Amino acid sequence: MASETLDKIRLSGDVPNHVAIIMDGNGRWAKQKGFPRQVGHREGMKSVRETIEGAAEAGIKILTLFAFSTENWNRPRKEVASLMSLLQYYARKERDSLKHQGVEVHVLGETERFDDQTQEAVDLIVEGTKGGQTLRLNLMISYGGREEILRSVRLWPRMRPGP
């Protein structure tokens, strides 16, 4: 989270309970700087760490990061593989630090689309941070609003009480 935004939150004394951020533009940033898109995604992960620490420090209770939409599966296979590899790496690397900070991670989205290695890394970070009391981190990965609406419509008949 940008330091000036954190300062505004702190100075206002009116800390929001929930902040949601759409992570977008890392690849374009890298391209503008003459780097491969993967460099932008790695830099974006550094910003994620700072954002989580800043949100917890500011007293925000819930942070939602919309990180990877269902539409992102349509990107080139190599880029998707790189993003999933980055997710695996950071999930394993940051798990203990997040637990120590009191962050509880929840992953929302179509996780059944993950390969085995990505699913394992996601499961490890979710299980490894259970019980965190400082900040709930919702990671929206393989998530899309349209798909959520369709899933809800399909589930509706099973959820209604009565005959």
Per-residue pLDDT of 72-106, as tens digits, reads 788 889 888 988 998 999 999 999 999 999 999 99
Res 51 pLDDT > 80: yes
Whole-number average pLDDT of the chain: 83
Mean pLDDT computed over 54-64: 92
Q: How confident is the model at residue 8 (pLDDT cuts 50, 70, 90)?
A: confident
Tell me which of 7-11, 31-35, 73-77, 108-112 is least confident.
7-11
pLDDT higher than 60, residue 146: yes
Of all residues in the chain, the percent with pLDDT exceeding 90 is 36
Evaluated on CA atoms 29, 147, 79, 62, the torsion sign reads: positive
1 pLDDT higher than 60? no
Query: Which of 85-89, 108-112, 124-128 has the highest mean predicted lDDT (pLDDT)?
Result: 124-128
Query: Taking the complete model, does pTM exceed 0.85, yes or no?
Result: no
Domains along the chain? 19-158 (3.40.1180.10)
Residue 3 has pLDDT above 70, yes or no: no
Percent composition of the chain: helix, strand, coil (DSSP 3-state, to 5): 60, 15, 20
For residue 10, CA distances in Å to 2, 14, 17, 51, 57 come to 13, 8, 13, 14, 9
Asked if 24 is an active-site residue, the reply is yes
Options 14, 26, 72, 116, the catalytic residue: 72
Of 7, 24, 96, 115, the active-site residue reads: 24
Contact predicate 52/98, CB 8 Å:
yes
123 is catalytic: no
